[in-house]
Amino acid sequence: TLCCLQVIKYRAAVAWAVGKPLSIEEVEVAPPKAREVRVKIVATGICRTDDHLLGGLFPYVEYPIIPGHEGAGIVESIGEGVTLVKPGDKVIPLCHPQCGECNFCLNPNSNYCIKTHFHEPQNTMPDKTTRFTCKGKQIHHFMWCSTFAEYTVMPEYAVARIDATAPLNKVCVLGCAFPTGYGAAINTAKVKPGSTCAVFGLGGIGLSVVMGCKASGASRIIAVDINKDKFAKAKELGATDCVNPKDYTKPIQDVLTEMTGYGVDYSFEAIGNKDALIAALASCNMSTGVCVIIGEAPAGTLLSVDPTLLLTGRTWTGTMLGGWKARDSIPKLAASYLEKKFNLDVLITHTLPIAEVNKGFELLRGGKR
């Protein structure tokens, strides 16, 4: 059934240019075309990636643009040929889509997809046009999600239908933070029971890594952050030790190596910081240690690495959305949340109206979330 296939007007937070605060505007959103869906966004999280976008540090984007990629909403209307969702369905927009047709999607060992932004920029819809207009100008999409808006349009394979009873103001973090961090431990690193882990960065993703390490049976989880105010929540979620690099004169990798003897079994970098990336690699043990890159460094970042760190046996790898095939897995994670297998609520620190989105970024930059 097709419904409401007309242009509608709504509020959205628009980034008109690099370095400018978001501007709340009335935006016109066109109806979905074939195999597209229009979604009413009910809740959205603010991720460090969105902050990179505002600062001009995210690759391959075009301005003006509507940011946001960690949301939850309800399908308002569908275009011709849509079979995966219907109007009224609760959904999570997918910043890492699953088209189900490419070589990567067909590979059971991969969660990559050629429709991801890192393969081909998603500043427009697949037909190379946008669905957003403001003040007579075309507004670009962000990773096909653009959740800093009351309505958005995306391809049907970039949404995941979830249980109708799921609270959208909680499960919105399933759009990025939780599956990315939790999956980095469960899927990518495959943390083993009794192992030792170090987590660099205790934002939403880092705390989700802590949860994943605990669920995997890690015996020691060392949380690393320069903001000591984040330690209490990390311990609540399973961290056994909390370390502030500012408390030491020696490199943090040396501190962790001394704490554990030979280094940790698994380390996770959930910041996107150049120095932390190297420290995380050096902190895992030289023979069988596994270091997982999760945080997204600013576009153009280059690393200088001593190859001996890898020559001796360490594994250095990365993860996209925690290794989950998004359309298949996000509904299952939502169901697990409803079954109280993990607690997403603890990741949500503040709730603001869309008109205060810039305040949300101030909280993010101040380490208050």
Residue 160 lies in a domain: no
Tokens of 66: 């509507």
278: nearest Cα among 300, 295, 259, 261? 295
Residue 119 lies in a domain: no
Residue 264 lies in a domain: yes
User: DSSP string covering 4-27, please?
Assistant: --S-EEEEEEEB-STTPPPEEEEE
Tokens of 87: 């109007």
- Region of 186 (left: φ > 0; alpha: ψ -120 to 50; beta: rest) is alpha
| pLDDT profile of the chain (369 residues), mean per 10 | 71 95 96 96 92 89 95 97 96 96 96 92 94 96 96 97 97 96 98 98 96 98 96 96 97 97 97 94 96 89 91 95 97 97 91 92 79
Number of domains comprising the chain: 1
14: nearest Cα among 27, 5, 1? 27
274-283 helix and 252-260 helix, angle to the nearest 10 degrees: 20
Residue 1 pLDDT: 45
- Would strands 23-29 and 159-161 be described as parallel, antiparallel, or unpaired? unpaired
Tokens of 23: 């501007």
The one-character DSSP state at 122 is -
Tokens of 110: 């991969």
Q: Tell me, what CATH number does 288's domain have? A: 3.40.50.720
94: nearest Cα among 52, 37, 154? 154
Tokens of 178: 């939780």
Instruction: Please give the order of strands across the beta sheet that includes 241-243.
Output: 241-243, 220-224, 196-200, 266-269, 290-293, 315-318
Residue 241 lies in a domain: yes
Q: pTM of whole model > 0.85? A: yes
Residue 196 pLDDT: 98
Distances (CA, A) of 91 to 182, 202, 224: 20, 27, 34
Kind and range of the H or E run holding 257: helix 252-260
Residue 191 lies in a domain: yes
Residue 340 lies in a domain: no
The one-character DSSP state at 319 is -
By residue range, what is the domain housing residue 234?
Answer: 186-322
Instruction: Please give the order of strands across the beta sheet that includes 132-134.
Output: 8-14, 23-29, 132-134, 137-139
**Contact criterion met (CB below 8 Å) for 209 and 184:** yes
92: nearest Cα among 329, 349, 350? 329
- Distance in angstroms (rounded) separating the CA atoms of residues 341 and 251: 37
Cis peptide leading into residue 67 (ω within 30°): no
Distances (CA, A) of 80 to 4, 32, 37, 77, 85: 13, 8, 9, 10, 12
Residue 268 lies in a domain: yes
141: nearest Cα among 150, 151, 154? 154
